[in-house]
Structure 1
Amino acid sequence: MSAFQSPVITGEDKKTFRVDSSDPFAVQKLKWALQQFLADLYKPQYHQLIVLCIGTDRSTGDSLGPLIGTKVSRLQPKRAVIYGTLEEPVHAVNLEETVAEIERLYHYPLIIAVDACLGRAESVGAIDIGLGPMQPGAGVNKTLPPVGQLHINGIVNVGGFLEYFVLQNTRLSVVIRIAEAIARGLYLGLQSLPQTADTSKSLPLQRV
């Protein structure tokens, strides 16, 4: 087995990066990509990092976000507040309320939005990380406000037809594999982030 080498971020204007969750180096690649993106984004004016995991545990495919939120919370990262867990999910009904709460509680938060999405058959199992906001609900024809300065999407199933039912009938093994990779990559990437902002005045570092 060859050793891991830092990949090159590709995509339009080098703003996106994709890794297969079954890649044995998926966690290291996600950590590396997160570090590269945050190096550009994370400025002193951001007083708190927020990981906003979107989804619901009432749908297998859409449970990716809450699974990741729960896993990362249990790892207790030093650099981030976690929103969206299996016990307290953030979904279409309460997303706007949650974002408003974040903006009220934290001065200049930097939000990493995490969610499941649908894609092409050959892309199932892939993880996309990129600059800019996420458009949650777009895959199931819901209109929700864009959120985040950085987004992470896990492609859990094939899109294009009856998306709601496709999410309901997604294989749990795929969701868990993606969740494990994203959660560990997120945790390691956040742990290695320099303390460039004064987070000492922020609220407690976990919301579970």
Structure 2
Amino acid sequence: MNFKDKFSKEEKRVSTDDPAMSDTLSSYLQEWLPPSKEIIVACIGTDRSTGDSFGPLVGSMLRDQQIDSFHIYGTLEDPLHALNLKERLMTIRKHHPNPYILAIDACLGKSSSVGSVILGKGSLTPGSALKKDLPPVGQLHISGMVNVSGFMEHVVLQNTRLHVVMQMAAKVAAAIQLTAAKRRQVKMEKSPFQTFTTSKYPIKKSIQ
């Protein structure tokens, strides 16, 4: 759970209420994700708190779709949270040398921004809304604004409406799924034909 009270030029904001949100967010992701990098999707949060379940919900939805072009870490079953984040990041970097990480986490902010999803360049700082000291994560990040900050954040998270979080997670997961499909299509268009070698498929000479 991070905290966001200001927005920069390096961010794109979309609203959950927008019917075209998933398509819009997917277009931004397609533009900003490097085409040749191995993409890790780190979905941060815990299923023990309604407001902080945004990340694991996205992770579980993506895992159910079995997206093979992105590596998904953090689900409701196996969450990526404050107690294991440092260890899991080490594991990710061990198995994926020089990865490009898209970090996903819930955030708190101004009341006027609740329901917004923010795509930003650079890392996010998990736990900042709850004053936790955790390492920054990601070269790109998605923050889901689930509730208002400023007073008794733990209570606010526990009393966040599940409907809001579920709707936001479903649309973000759909956007990532669309992005994966677009990247796969682009890859196929660049190399549409498989190269066949004569060593694998030898040419047989006809008998005269």
Q: TM-score range by the shorter chain?
A: 0.7 to 0.9
Match of 1:122 among 89, 109, 112: 112
The answer as to whether partners of 1:119 and 1:155 remain within 8 angstroms in 2 is: yes
Aligned to 1:36: 31
Q: Distance in 2 between matches of 1:171 and 1:164?
A: 14
Q: Distance in 1 between matches of 2:114 and 2:60?
A: 22
Aligned to 2:178: 188
**Which amino acid is 2:12 matched to?**
F
**Which amino acid is 2:32 matched to?**
F
CA shift, 1:78, in A, is 2.8
Mind listing any 5+ residue stretches in structure 1 that lack a counterpart? 1-10, 197-208
Residues 55-101 of structure 1 deviation map (CA, whole Å, 9 limit, x = unaligned): 00000000111100000111122311100001000000000111000
Aligned to 2:81: 91
Q: How many residues were matched structurally?
A: 180
Aligned to 1:19: 14
Q: Distance in 1 between matches of 2:29 and 2:57?
A: 19
Aligned to 1:157: 147
Matches within 5 A, 1:27-66: 27-38=22-33, 42=34, 44=36, 46=37, 48-66=38-56
CA shift, 1:191, in A, is 2.0
The answer as to whether partners of 1:118 and 1:156 remain within 8 angstroms in 2 is: yes
Q: Distance in 2 between matches of 1:142 and 1:192?
A: 37
Q: Distance in 1 between matches of 2:139 and 2:61?
A: 22
Matches within 5 A, 1:72-87: 72-87=62-77
Identity %: 47
Distance 1:195 1:145, change over 3 A: farther
The answer as to whether partners of 1:22 and 1:177 remain within 8 angstroms in 2 is: no
The structure whose Rg is larger is: 2
The answer as to whether partners of 1:20 and 1:125 remain within 8 angstroms in 2 is: yes
Aligned to 1:6: none
**Which amino acid is 1:187 matched to?**
Q
Query: Helix, strand or coil: the match of 1:154?
Result: strand
The answer as to whether partners of 1:78 and 1:191 remain within 8 angstroms in 2 is: no
Aligned to 1:145: 135
TM-score, scaled to structure 1:
0.83
**In the alignment, structure 1 residue 136 sits paired with structure 2 residue 126:** yes
Runs of 4+ that moved beyond 3 A = none
RMSD between aligned residues = 1.4
Q: Distance in 2 between matches of 1:43 and 1:71?
A: 23
Q: Distance in 2 between matches of 1:25 and 1:164?
A: 32
**Which amino acid is 2:108 matched to?**
L
